[in-house]
């Protein structure tokens, strides 16, 4: 690979990682793409997808699958759960202790060996709740 190309790739990856951090509340690839394009206008969506995949593999970010088909990206790679808005699809963090696998009773989990706990909490975010409230008053 040419040195210039390599430098450009490194820069793209850095800007993509920074965008995930700046956008905070678990952005999708398209949201990250729109932010990256403000800094590096020639970046393609496929480049963003590819780099997000690399960053996930490197453990720098985490991919969070919502109820829909879209994947959200999280700069917080520590163990925590998520809540998803059923109206706008936004994903936010749940601030409570993760379920402790070691204290689980085997019968509760049909004698499975538990590898990972993924909780799916769905709700309505404050912005959507406010919007729904306004619509009700009209
Ligand atoms: Zn919402
Ligand atoms: Zn999160």
Contacts 24+ apart (CB under 8 A), 93-102: 94/119, 94/121
- Output the six-digit token pair for 95: 């601030």
CA distance 138 to 136: 6
Residue 124 Cα to ligand 1 middle (Å):
6
Share of residues in the chain with pLDDT > 70 (%): 99
Tell how strand 62-65 and strand 71-74 pair up: antiparallel
Show which of 74, 104, 121 is a domain's final residue: 74
pLDDT in tens, 1-26: 577 888 888 899 999 999 999 998 89
CATH code where residue 103 lies = 3.30.1490.190
Residue 21 Cα to ligand 1 middle (Å):
20
Residue 123 Cα to ligand 1 middle (Å):
8
**68 and 15, same structural domain?**
yes
Number of domains in the chain: 2
pLDDT in tens, 18-52: 999 999 889 999 999 999 999 999 999 999 999 99
CA distance 90 to 60: 21
**4 and 63, same structural domain?**
yes
**127 and 70, same structural domain?**
no
């Amino acid at each position: 690979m040419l040195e210039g190309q390599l430098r450009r790739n490194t820069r793209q990856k850095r800007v993509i990682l920074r965008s995930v951090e700046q956008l905070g509340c678990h952005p999708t690839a398209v949201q990250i793409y729109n932010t990256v394009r403000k800094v590096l206008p020639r970046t393609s969506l496929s480049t963003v997808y590819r780099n997000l995949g690399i960053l996930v593999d490197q453990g720098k970010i985490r991919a969070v699958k919502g109820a829909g088909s879209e994947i959200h990206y999280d700069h917080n790679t520590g163990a925590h759960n998520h809540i998803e808005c059923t109206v706008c699809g936004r994903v936010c963090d749940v601030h409570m202790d993760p379920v402790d696998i070691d204290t689980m009773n085997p019968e509760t989990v049909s004698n499975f060996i538990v590898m990972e706990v993924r909780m799916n909490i769905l709700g309505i975010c404050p912005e959507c709740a406010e919007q729904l409230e306004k619509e009700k008053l009209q």
